[in-house]
C-alpha cells in the first residue's frame, strides 16, 4: 500500500456518502492504515451536515478500531477571492482542512478566476491541503499556483476518486505531478472515499506515480509520522 494515512474521506454526514466513521475506520484498520482524516463537506455544499457536526467532533475518540482520526473538514473555496465557508473561530478547532472547488458552490470559472482563487487560498494559514486540483473543469496556471502552494506549505492532492470517475483527470494529474517533481513540491495521495471499502485504496494514483517516476519521498502521507508531526506543529494546543 502506498499510503499510511488517508487524509480526505467522507461519512454519511455528507449525504452523498454511505458509511459511518466507525465503518470507515474498520476498513482502514483492515487495510493496514494508521490514520484517516474525517473531512465532511462544509455548509456551502448542498449535502453538507449541520454546523453542529463540526462543533461536536470533540466527542469522538482519538482512535477508532486502532486507527487515528483527524477531525477535519472539506472546505469550499467560494470564489476567485479564495475565501472559504467556515469562520476563523471554528477553523481554529479543525485538525485537518482540505479546501476544494465544487461546481455546486462556484459554478463555472475560467482559468484566470481559478488561478486567483488558488493563489488567495494558498495564503490561508488554516488550509492544509488543496483538494482535487486535478479536476479538468477548473483549469488554472498550474506552475504559478503549485509554486505558491509550496511557498505557503500547502499540500497538493492526488485524488483517487477524481482519477476513477472524472474523464480527463489523469492527464491533468500527470501534468501536475511533473511540475511537482520538477520543483520538489510535496503532495498527498487521498481517496476522497464516499464508501468505507474504498478508504485507503489508491491503485490508479499509485500506478500514475510509478509510471512518472515521481519520488515517493514527496508523497507526504506515505508516512503517518510525517503527517502527525505536521499536525502537532500546527496545533500545539490541541490534544493530538
pLDDT digits (tens, 9 = 90+) for 167-191: 999 999 999 999 999 999 999 999 9
Please give the backbone phi and psi of residue 228, each rounded to the nearest 5 degrees, phi first: -60, -45
Q: Using an 8 Å Cβ cutoff, are 5 and 38 in contact? A: no
Mind listing the pLDDT tens digit for each residue in 4-48?
999 999 999 999 999 999 999 999 999 999 999 999 999 999 999
Q: 132 in a domain, yes or no?
A: yes
Q: Which three-class secondary structure state does DSSP give residue 189? A: strand
Counted domains in the chain: 1
C-alpha cell of 120?
488567495
Q: 228 in a domain, yes or no?
A: yes
- Please state the pTM of the whole predicted model: 0.97
The pLDDT, as a whole number, for residue 240 is 63
CA distances from 156 to 28, 41, 131, 163, 184 (A): 22, 18, 7, 15, 12
C-alpha cell of 119?
493563489
Residue 224 pLDDT > 70, yes or no?
yes
Q: 181 in a domain, yes or no?
A: yes
Residue 239 pLDDT > 80, yes or no?
no
Strands (DSSP E) found in 77-114: 96-100
Mind listing the pLDDT tens digit for each residue in 149-158?
999 999 999 9
Quick one: which of 90, 186, 169, 107 has its CA closest to 133?
169
Burial class of residue 179 (count of CB atoms within 10 Å of its CB; 0-12, 13-18, 19+): middle
Domain holding 155, by residue range, is 5-234
Q: 239 in a domain, yes or no?
A: no
76-96 burial: b if 16+ Cβ within 10 Å, else e: bbbbbebbbbbeeeebebbbb
Mind listing the pLDDT tens digit for each residue in 98-140?
999 999 999 999 999 999 999 999 999 999 999 999 999 999 9
The pLDDT, as a whole number, for residue 31 is 97
Q: Which three-class secondary structure state does DSSP give residue 75? A: strand
Q: 240 in a domain, yes or no?
A: no
C-alpha cell of 179?
511540475
Q: 33 in a domain, yes or no?
A: yes
The pLDDT, as a whole number, for residue 237 is 79
CATH of the domain at 40: 3.20.20.140
> Which are the contacts of 44, defined by CB distance < 8 A and separation ≥ 6?
76, 78, 85, 102, 105
C-alpha cell of 216?
515517493
Round to whole Å and give the CA distance between 190 and 32: 15
Beta bridge partners of 41: 74
Amino acid at each position: 500500500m502506498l499510503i499510511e494515512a488517508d487524509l480526505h474521506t467522507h461519512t454519511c454526514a455528507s449525504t452523498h456518502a454511505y458509511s459511518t466513521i466507525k465503518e470507515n475506520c474498520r476498513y482502514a484498520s483492515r487495510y493496514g492504515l494508521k490514520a484517516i482524516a474525517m473531512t465532511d463537506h462544509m455548509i456551502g455544499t448542498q449535502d453538507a451536515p449541520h454546523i453542529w457536526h463540526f462543533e461536536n467532533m470533540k466527542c469522538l475518540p482519538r482512535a477508532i478500531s486502532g486507527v487515528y482520526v483527524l477531525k477535519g473538514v472539506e472546505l469550499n473555496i467560494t470564489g476567485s477571492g479564495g475565501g472559504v465557508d467556515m469562520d476563523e473561530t471554528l477553523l481554529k478547532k479543525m485538525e485537518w482542512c482540505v479546501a476544494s472547488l465544487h461546481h455546486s458552490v462556484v459554478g463555472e470559472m475560467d482559468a484566470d478566476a481559478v488561478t486567483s482563487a488558488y493563489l488567495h487560498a494558498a495564503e490561508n494559514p488554516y488550509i492544509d491541503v488543496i483538494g482535487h486540483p486535478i479536476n479538468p473543469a477548473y483549469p488554472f496556471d498550474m506552475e504559478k499556483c503549485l509554486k505558491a502552494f509550496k511557498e505557503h506549505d500547502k499540500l497538493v492532492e492526488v485524488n483517487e476518486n477524481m482519477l476513477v470517475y472524472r474523464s480527463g483527470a489523469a492527464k491533468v494529474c500527470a501534468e501536475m505531478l511533473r511540475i511537482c517533481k520538477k520543483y520538489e513540491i510535496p503532495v498527498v495521495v487521498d481517496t476522497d472515499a464516499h464508501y468505507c471499502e474504498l478508504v485507503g485504496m489508491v491503485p490508479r494514483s499509485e500506478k500514475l506515480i510509478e509510471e512518472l517516476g515521481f519520488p515517493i519521498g514527496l508523497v507526504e502521507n506515505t508516512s503517518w509520522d510525517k503527517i502527525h508531526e505536521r499536525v502537532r506543529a500546527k496545533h500545539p494546543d490541541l490534544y493530538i
